[in-house]
Structure 1
Amino acid sequence: MRSRWSEVLDDEAEVTENPLRSRRRRRLLQSLAAGVVVALLLVGGAAWYLTDRYAGGLERLDGVFAGLDETQRPAAPTGPARTALTFLVVGSDTRADVPEGERPDGRSDVMMLVRVTADRQNAQVISLPRDSWVSIPGMGMAKLNAAYAYGGPTLLVQTVENLTGVRVDHYAAIDFQGFVQMTDSLGGVDVQVAEATSNGPYTYEAGLNHLDGDEALNYVRQRYGLPGGDFDRVKRQQQYLRSVFGALSQQNVLTDMGALGGFMDALTGAMAVDEQLSNADLIQMAYDMRSLRPDALTFLTAPVAGTGREGAQSVVYLDPARSAQMWNHLRADSLGEHAAEFAVDALPAVPN
């Protein structure tokens, strides 16, 4: 079958026989070409605007991966899992009104591995208890969050990679104070509470609670007064993230430029990412994940064997066998398919 372009060329060849038809054809082709150029400029301009407006506002952290010995790092995924992405997300919920000199010694309160599957249709969020008793390269055994205090993001990445055998592609730091702006930009979020509790000036009643930004911040900060202490706080942090993602989906924020603007301003103002994560990478990832639904997110905690003491410290002991099983699935990009194996480690529908 002859192509349309072959027919056009034939028409051009007939110029001596049919000059009027040839001139019309050239005008048509020129118009089409001009239309394509205009369309490309519009698309390119929109992409440039989004990149400059949002991704361009992110703080970049220099040298997060520069100090790592590539020969000692876990291998990059191969086969179907090769395009999966793994983020190490850290954050601090230390109160902003505490004088800087009286705050904890630079330790991270929140650590999560976030895996976006190769097909961008699913994601897993795995919380790493900050008090996990682990081996920190060059420092010996200590709490996981001490790695950040000893060597910043680089040593924390190295520690997590050694612990899990999972290669970390990117690093993101979140200021939990930014939760206030993010939550308020969504008009608040809904969380289910098992039993009435109080933290700061707020009381959270049993059942459904609609939280504004400051209420949400105090909700995820609460540790005391919860049956599981720090473990329940981890679950609240995950529940909050699940509620935010649900609100984004229900309100169509990702497709409403007006609503998206306020949320993205709050999000980028609260985050910093490694310098290797380019603006183009961020835009591409956002586009790839545009159809990700709330029920495609799985929230887990690294399997725990129990708690105890190491000297004067209260620590968490991870379960070696079940943790190894979880990391194996994560490396193979199949954790979502095997999530049922870790039901005891999953975020419950209604955490404490």
Structure 2
Amino acid sequence: MALERSKKRKTLSKKMKFLFISVAILLLMLSAAGVYTNQLYQSAQDTVNTTMQEDLDRNGGSERRIHEVSLEDNDAASFLLLGTDGEGSHDRGRSDTIMVATMNPEEASLKMVNIPRDTRVEIPGRPGKDKINHAYAYGGSDLAMETTERFLDVPIDYVIRVNMDGFTSLVDAVGGVNVYNDFHFEQDHYEFHKGNIDLDGDQALAYTRMRKDDPQGDSGRNERQQQVVEGIIDEGASFQSVTRIEEIIDSLGDNIRTNLDFDMMNTLVFDYSHVREDIRSLSIEGSGRMIENIYYLDVPESERSRISDQLNDHLGL
């Protein structure tokens, strides 16, 4: 049981880092930069507040909120992470990673749920039901947030959208990453042996794309994505990456979009970091079925309500 809890804790820790990739990497870069802080701080601030910013129709906040949430006041808040497959940060591919996290700084806790991309839901403005990962393709982050809110009946305050394909440039900017590969496989003309392996940007992309030959399917692919993200963070915090800090910041700006500004990110890192003391992962259970030769995951109303109640309770709603 202790080993099982330890493995679960490590998995949750990786999800936590994946959720805050835009925050963690930027601030680790700045910390590593030392004497370059003033110049790079301004560069990072400009990147976040201009290049990374995503204009949303809901800039006034979620309609499910009576009062607008304030990170400065240490309010409990919710976040939607979208890992997209577009060729660029502005392209509308589908969102293969859809994760909701709620933070309650007063309780020093974080809850998170990964929504399977095949989950069959109602997408506002679209006929019938469709896969939840199509919402982003139809209407960008706004529709993805609205669809997630409707499905879980939970307000979504902030979004962090990461273009996973674009992380080739970021991997190269930090000088490559080292990961532990659980089993031998081939993908996109690259061969990946079992054990510790070094990856450049193109290899890292191929490594994270493999799904069909993985016994864990999407879960295995998500785990490899998280491995690469951790590798980026580890390399980015090292002294060797300091001289490439501008390149790293530029790469982040090219591949991340969010409605968090730089001050909000600082507040999260310094005032919300203690939520890691209690991280709980919620799992959505459902049953798969084929409709017109397309696979969907049906989530029962009782299951949807169970997740919704826990997240709303965590937000104090």
What do residues 258-297 of structure 1 show as CA deviations (whole Å, max 9, x unaligned)?
Answer: 56544333212211223xx3333234334446x679x869
CA shift at 1:83, angstroms? 1.9
CA shift at 1:151, angstroms? 2.9
Contact 1:77 1:331 in 2 (8 A): no
1:304 aligns to 2:285 (yes or no): yes
Contact 1:112 1:126 in 2 (8 A): yes
1:87 to 73, 79, 84: 79
1:222 to 190, 195, 210: 210
5 Å-filtered alignment, 1:161-180, equals: 161-180=149-168
Comparing both chains, which one has the higher relative contact order based on Cα–Cα distances under 8 Å and sequence gaps of 6 or more? 2
Contact 1:129 1:231 in 2 (8 A): no
| 2: CA distance, partners of 1:143 / 1:185 | 35
In angstroms, what is the RMSD of aligned CA positions? 4.1
TM-score when normalising by structure 1: 0.62
| 1: CA distance, partners of 2:107 / 2:243 | 25
Counterpart in the other structure of 1:131: 118
Secondary structure at the counterpart of residue 304 of structure 1: coil
Contact 2:100 2:113 in 1 (8 A): yes
| 2: CA distance, partners of 1:58 / 1:191 | 30
5 Å-filtered alignment, 1:275-286, equals: 277-286=260-269
CA shift at 1:133, angstroms? 1.0
Counterpart in the other structure of 1:238: 226
1:273 aligns to 2:252 (yes or no): no
Contact 1:68 1:158 in 2 (8 A): no
Work out the number of aligned pairs and report it: 274
1:184 aligns to 2:172 (yes or no): yes
Secondary structure at the counterpart of residue 286 of structure 2: strand
Structure 1 counterpart of 2:144, one-letter code: L
| 1: CA distance, partners of 2:231 / 2:261 | 28
5 Å-filtered alignment, 1:321-340, equals: 321=302, 324-333=305-314
Secondary structure at the counterpart of residue 168 of structure 1: coil
| 2: CA distance, partners of 1:300 / 1:188 | 30
Contact 1:114 1:125 in 2 (8 A): yes
Counterpart in the other structure of 1:196: 184
5 Å-filtered alignment, 1:140-159, equals: 140-159=128-147
Secondary structure at the counterpart of residue 134 of structure 1: strand
Contact 2:289 2:296 in 1 (8 A): yes
Secondary structure at the counterpart of residue 130 of structure 2: strand
| 2: CA distance, partners of 1:229 / 1:258 | 38
% identity of equivalent residues: 25
Unaligned stretches of 5+ residues in structure 1: 1-44, 97-102, 335-352
Counterpart in the other structure of 2:32: none
| 2: CA distance, partners of 1:323 / 1:244 | 35
Task: Indicate how the Cα distance of structure 1 residues 301 and 205 shifts in structure 2: closer, same or farther if over 3 A, else same.
Answer: farther
